Amino acid sequence: MTRSSRFLSGFSWGLANQVLTLVVGLFITPFLLRHLGQSDLGLWLVVSSLLGYLGLLDLGVAALLPRETAYAAGRNPERPLPAVAEVFGQALQLALLQVPLVALGASLLLLLLPESSDKVLHPFLMVLGTFVLLFPLRLFQAVLNGLQDLRFLGMLQTVGWAAGTLTSVVLVLADAGLYAVAAGWVATQGLSALACLWRLRTAFPEALPRKLPRLSMEGIRSWLSRSLWITVGNVAQLLRLGTDVVIIGKLLGPEAVVPFTCTAKLVSVLSNAPQLVLASAQPALAELRMSSSKERITEVASAVERLTLFISGAVFCGVLTINEGFVLRWVGTEQYGGLVLTVLFLTSMVLRHFCLSVNTCLFCFGHERRLALTAVTDGCVTLLAMWAGVSLGGWTGAALAPIIGICTVSLPMNLSLFAKDTGRSVWQVLRDLVPWGVRCAAVAAVSLGITVGLAPRGFPQLTLAGMFVGVLYLLLMRPLLFEGALGTYVRPRVDALRARWASARGRLGLG
């Protein structure tokens, strides 16, 4: 399979998984609210977010491994897998050395549990124990990602999520309480780790090291000098995106977390689709850095950026149209935070997607140090703005804080470097976004008019409104899909689909 085919396959499976997650999630959240209660569910949301802090003890090794795997494959096109095995062996050795540190961190994490957390203590201990045991096994998925086995990873994500959800539902019905959601998490993680090991042994056996290579202190320093910057970036990610429910739970109480997360549900689920573009493209960009010219890399980076924003804009307009009616029908009026909160969530999402498209390219170009320093600054600004915002404005202040961080730090600091690496000026980068921005703003105005003027509530009305906005968005954006760098990828695939359709019509005698 070509890089484009692997990207498309992985993205398609990931998108299908997001749709499945959304559809089933329509029933799961009310189900958990009904059986666990708002207080217990809010407490679990707060406590489970603490796992993000434990993941920082990875020191960035798992996040760096896909890029290093792609680098190894790009440098050795004749025999890529033995080169990958050497890199994998080094990373696995580092992960094994980190296990005691992770176990200690898991113990200390218990000190961060909020008050009245007796109900969640033992389920959380079960999650922490599983996290420590499976910690080195997470590298199997990282290697498969670097090898661009994206179709398998997309399928596995669907199966693992389904297994975890089914486990939770069955145990909730058996009155297992918070043990049910903890067991669902354990089932998902365990199945994913074992399935990735099986895939490596059967499809890429040469990528598995026969024995762990000797890792000198110089080798450890080499890895950590790069991966620690990723950890710094992950700290910033938690400051930007992982502390909102913690701060809301602390200042407003666990019950206030549920309406905030329910209002953001559609945004958080559908925002993963543009991120799938970037996650699927990252290994290919890293491999291209080792084997292609700067002009070719710039062309691919431009295509990735345009596709990301195309999908992000579609999510913005679609969710703006139906979010109020969706939340009201889904969990009730008391769990909806309002139109202003929805607009802030969506604005933050689009800005973050643009930043991520820039950052993905910069990471593949080896600028992890610059990205980390920028992210930390962004994270600190966001955290301060969020604490002040929640204190003064509640949910609205929490949703506004990430926008402040993006606009004052991330965009100004990283956009100039991105423009330099791709051989353009900042003005050229922004000017290229104008056609998309104007079209997106026009459709968003229509979406806002439908939400405020027609206020669709029932499922048929929401479906019709969403379809109308979707068709309008596609019609306006269609020229952008077939122009420039993105068009070089879209046109051949559309032509291939047309040819298949014509062939099928001919075989059926419909031509």
**H or E element that contains 473:** helix 459-481
State how far the Cα of 358 lies from the Cα of 45, in Å rounded to an integer: 30
* HSE-CB for 100 with a 13 A CA cutoff: 1
Residue-level pLDDT at 359: 80
CA dihedral defined by 323, 328, 333, 338, rounded to 10 degrees? 10
Would you give the distance in Å from CA 245 to the centre of its chain? 18
Judge whether 72 and 20 are in contact, CB under 8 Å. no
Cβ-Cβ contacts under 8 Å for 125 (sequence gap 6 or more): 110
What confidence category does residue 256 fall into, taking pLDDT thresholds of 50, 70 and 90?
A: confident
Using the predicted structure, report yes or no on whether residue 277 has a pLDDT greater than 60: yes
- Mean pLDDT on 313-342: 88
DSSP string, 203-228: H-GGGS-SSPPP--HHHHHHHHHHHH
Of 57-61, 238-242, 378-382, the poorest mean pLDDT is in: 238-242
pLDDT digit string, tens, across residues 123-165: 888 888 898 898 888 899 888 888 878 788 888 888 888 888 8
Q: How far is CA 134 from CA 5, 16, 95, in A?
A: 31, 27, 11
Select the more confidently predicted residue: 418 or 506.
418
Using the predicted structure, report yes or no on whether residue 253 has a pLDDT greater than 90: no
Cβ burial, residue 237 (10 Å; 0-12/13-18/19+): middle
What confidence category does residue 319 fall into, taking pLDDT thresholds of 50, 70 and 90?
A: very high
State how far the Cα of 455 lies from the Cα of 442, in Å rounded to an integer: 19
- pTM for the whole thing? 0.66
Q: Looking up tokens 């800005």, which residue turns up?
A: 351
Q: What are the structure tokens assigned to 350, written together?
A: 């689009």
What confidence category does residue 508 fall into, taking pLDDT thresholds of 50, 70 and 90?
A: low
What confidence category does residue 1 fall into, taking pLDDT thresholds of 50, 70 and 90?
A: low
Residue-level pLDDT at 235: 66
Select the more confidently predicted residue: 263 or 75.
263
Using the predicted structure, report yes or no on whether residue 107 has a pLDDT greater than 90: no
Q: Which of 11, 147, 149 is nearest to 67 (CA)?
A: 147
Contacts 24+ apart (CB under 8 A), 204-207: 204/81, 204/84, 204/143, 204/144, 204/147, 204/149, 206/81, 206/82, 206/84, 206/85, 207/81, 207/84, 207/85, 207/88, 207/143, 207/147
pLDDT digit string, tens, across residues 162-182: 888 899 889 888 888 888 888
Using the predicted structure, report yes or no on whether residue 44 has a pLDDT greater than 60: yes
Residue-level pLDDT at 374: 84
What confidence category does residue 2 fall into, taking pLDDT thresholds of 50, 70 and 90?
A: low
What confidence category does residue 285 fall into, taking pLDDT thresholds of 50, 70 and 90?
A: low
pLDDT digit string, tens, across residues 355-380: 888 887 777 677 777 887 888 888 88
Residue-level pLDDT at 389: 87
Q: Looking up tokens 């976004």, which residue turns up?
A: 433
Using the predicted structure, report yes or no on whether residue 491 has a pLDDT greater than 60: yes
Average pLDDT, the chain: 80
Q: What are the structure tokens assigned to 474, written together?
A: 């596609």
Q: What are the structure tokens assigned to 448, written together?
A: 């806002």
Select the more confidently predicted residue: 508 or 190.
190
